[in-house]
């Protein structure tokens, strides 16, 4: 995906959220480390323009809440910073790619430790198949058909239209 | 980010990147401790045994709380009332603990190398909580963490370690870690406790207090371990305090922003006066808080390490 289609996907995400929420006074965005952080900031910019009000943005790290910690080397722990109260809010978790659903599950768990939101929803730029848990996104930028072994790499740059999404396949696709 | 090890045994064998990984990870675990809910599920279902063959309260409590905060189950094996008193070997004791499916063994032992021995005979993760006069890696790491947090860097920092260096595992872990990360280390104390042989570890050795603390950014005070010294290393505590005790008037000779550190427990009035220990330059209680974060980080990191992984110890 090139810059223009990435921008269009982010705009679709934003439109979907604005359709659901006529005004944003109780909406907060929380990006999941690390891929969701930039996306959450960009999305907040779109939403702030639509609602004419600032949208709080936090960042959440899920390393300590993963379910595979003894099966792999310890993942790097990034900062969690949610400098506002999420209790009673409409939290939209933001991630770049949804695949197995395990990161989202861990994020729900991590969010639980920070407060009790009124509602939690999930916004992703890229929705892949291959789910391993009963988790679906509420807001989707783009559905992408991938093979299980593919790697999806989202590179977001703010404001200059140079964002890109790569799909890397370990072996040539079967026709 | 670099961590493959199954165990945390000493700072001597850690690389600069590995030490930085622990410090960076601990920073995030410290943030967890400041939350309303201070617990994360990283070690849910795991069992941590604290096997303290040598008495210690604060280190054991810190490890136990760290394990609890990671959602592990914790068993305290008390050597005073245990089978070790009946002549069971350390290896048999540890193997019995492993047969109970202990995943982590945190060991303190009076014999240097006891944790290294266990790491060779056990599949469980082993953490050294102090072995003889050899090393106390989590104390060394929490000292580095505190210095880095307060001073913003370790490279080029002037650190003076004062007191009983010869018998101190804390000093050795500090020296290894500080030298690897580029700090300058000065050791000071009575010649009987601070021999020149430490110069081989890259330290400056001086026996004059004023010379040792005048340019220091950090003064790390070690406890005079009067119970550990078999023969008297100096004439008496009074003389030690007279020559090396840190008092408010002696702080006048130091940099105004010097950090005063101490691994505890403090001998008030011996190595440090109360008004210095409780003063504005003292970070002694912050060291305790940081120790919890370091121990959480250590348990978290080694949980992912495997003995068979390349680069493991």
Over the stretch A126-142, which tens digit does the pLDDT of each residue have? 999 999 999 999 999 99
Kindly list the strands in the beta sheet with B259-261, ordered across the sheet, starting from the edge strand earlier in the chain: B204-206, B184-188, B158-162, B218-221, B259-261
Q: Please report, for chain B, the start and end positions of each structural domain, with discontinuous segments joined by +.
A: 16-135+289-303, 137-284
B71 in contact with chain A, both atoms CB, cutoff 8 A: no
Question: CB-CB: which of A61, A72, A109 is closest to B41?
Answer: A109
Q: Which of residues 7-26 of B touch A (CB under 8 A)?
A: 24-25
Count of the separate structural domains present in chain A: 1
Instruction: For residue A157, give its domain range.
Output: 3-168
Distance from CA of B266 to the nearest CA of A (A): 34
B309 in contact with chain A, both atoms CB, cutoff 8 A: yes
- Asked if residues B207 and B189 have their Cβ atoms less than 8 Å apart, the reply is yes
Residue numbers of chain B with a pLDDT score lower than 50: 309-313
Distance from CA of A63 to the nearest CA of B (A): 8
Question: Would you say residue A173 has pLDDT above 80?
Answer: no
What's residue B70's pLDDT? 97
The class of domain B137-284 in CATH terms is alpha beta
Assigned domain for A173 exists: no
What's residue B196's pLDDT? 96
Q: What percent of chain A has pLDDT over 90?
A: 82
- Asked if residues B131 and B169 have their Cβ atoms less than 8 Å apart, the reply is yes
For A78, nearest residue in chain B (alpha carbons) = B28
Question: Given this chain, do its domains B16-135+289-303 and B137-284 carry the same CATH topology?
Answer: yes
Assigned domain for A174 exists: no
Give per-residue pLDDT as tens, A61-82: 999 999 999 888 999 999 999 9
Q: Which of residues 24-43 of B touch A (CB under 8 A)?
A: 24-25, 28-29, 31-32, 35-37, 39-43
A73 with B39: Cβ contact below 8 A? no
B41 with A61: Cβ contact below 8 A? no
A109 contact residues in B (CB cutoff 8 A): 41
Distance from CA of A67 to the nearest CA of B (A): 8
Is ipTM beyond 0.90? no
CA-wise closest residue to B151 among B281, B62, B275: B281
Looking at every residue in chain A, the average pLDDT score rounds to 93
Assigned domain for A95 exists: yes
In the predicted model, what is the mean pLDDT of residues A108-129?
96
**CATH number of the domain enclosing A123:** 3.40.50.2020
Give per-residue pLDDT as tens, B43-85: 999 999 999 988 888 999 999 999 999 999 999 987 766 666 6
Side-chain half-sphere exposure of B186, counting CA atoms within 13 A:
21
CATH 3.40.50.1370, domain B16-135+289-303, yes or no: yes
- Residue A159 pLDDT level (bands cut at 50, 70, 90): low
Question: Would you say residue A175 has pLDDT above 60?
Answer: no
């Amino acid at each position: 995906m090139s810059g223009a289609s990435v921008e269009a996907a982010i705009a679709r995400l934003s439109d979907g959220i604005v359709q659901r929420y006529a005004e944003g006074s109780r909406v907060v965005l929380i990006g999941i480390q690390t891929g969701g952080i930039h996306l959450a900031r960009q999305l907040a910019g779109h939403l702030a323009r639509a609602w004419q009000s600032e949208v709080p943005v936090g960042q959440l790290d899920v390393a300590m809440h993963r379910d595979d910690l003894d099966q792999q080397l310890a993942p790097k722990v990034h900062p969690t910073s949610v400098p506002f109260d999420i209790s009673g809010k409409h939290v939209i978790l933001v991630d770049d790619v949804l695949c197995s659903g395990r990161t989202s599950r861990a994020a729900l768990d991590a969010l639980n430790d920070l407060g009790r939101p009124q509602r939690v929803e999930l916004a992703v730029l890229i929705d892949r198949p291959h789910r391993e848990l009963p988790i679906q996104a509420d807001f989707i930028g783009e559905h992408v058909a991938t093979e299980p072994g593919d790697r999806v790499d989202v590179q977001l740059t703010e404001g200059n239209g140079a964002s890109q999404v790569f799909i890397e396949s370990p072996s040539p696709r079967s026709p | 980010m670099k961590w493959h090890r199954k165990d945390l045994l000493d700072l001597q064998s850690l690389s600069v990147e590995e030490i930085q990984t622990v410090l960076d990870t601990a920073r995030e675990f410290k943030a967890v401790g400041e939350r309303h809910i201070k617990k994360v599920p990283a070690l849910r279902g795991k069992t941590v045994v604290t096997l303290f063959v040598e008495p210690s309260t604060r280190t054991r409590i810190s490890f136990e709380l760290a394990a609890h905060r990671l959602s592990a189950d914790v068993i305290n094996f008390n050597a005073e009332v245990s089978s070790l008193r009946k002549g069971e070997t350390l290896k048999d004791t540890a193997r019995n603990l492993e047969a109970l499916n202990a995943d982590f063994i945190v060991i303190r032992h009076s014999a240097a190398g006891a944790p290294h021995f266990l790491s060779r005979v056990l599949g469980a993760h082993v953490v050294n909580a102090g072995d003889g006069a050899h090393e106390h890696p989590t104390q060394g790491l929490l000292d580095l963490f505190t210095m880095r947090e307060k001073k913003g860097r370790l490279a080029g920092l002037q650190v003076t370690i004062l007191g009983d260096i010869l018998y101190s595992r804390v000093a050795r872990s500090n020296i290894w870690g500080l030298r690897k990360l580029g700090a300058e280390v000065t050791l000071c104390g009575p010649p009987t406790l601070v021999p020149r042989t430490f110069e081989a570890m890259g330290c400056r050795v001086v026996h004059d207090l004023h010379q040792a603390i005048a340019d220091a950014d950090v003064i790390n005070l070690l406890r005079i371990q009067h119970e550990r010294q078999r023969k008297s290393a100096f004439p008496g505590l009074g003389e030690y305090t007279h020559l090396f005790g840190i008092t408010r008037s002696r702080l006048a000779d130091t940099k105004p922003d010097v950090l005063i550190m101490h691994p505890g427990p403090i001998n008030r009035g011996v190595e440090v006066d109360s008004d210095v220990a409780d003063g504005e330059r003292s970070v002694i209680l912050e060291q305790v808080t940081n120790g919890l974060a370091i121990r959480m980080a250590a348990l978290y990191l080694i949980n992912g390490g495997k003995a068979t992984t390349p680069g493991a110890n």
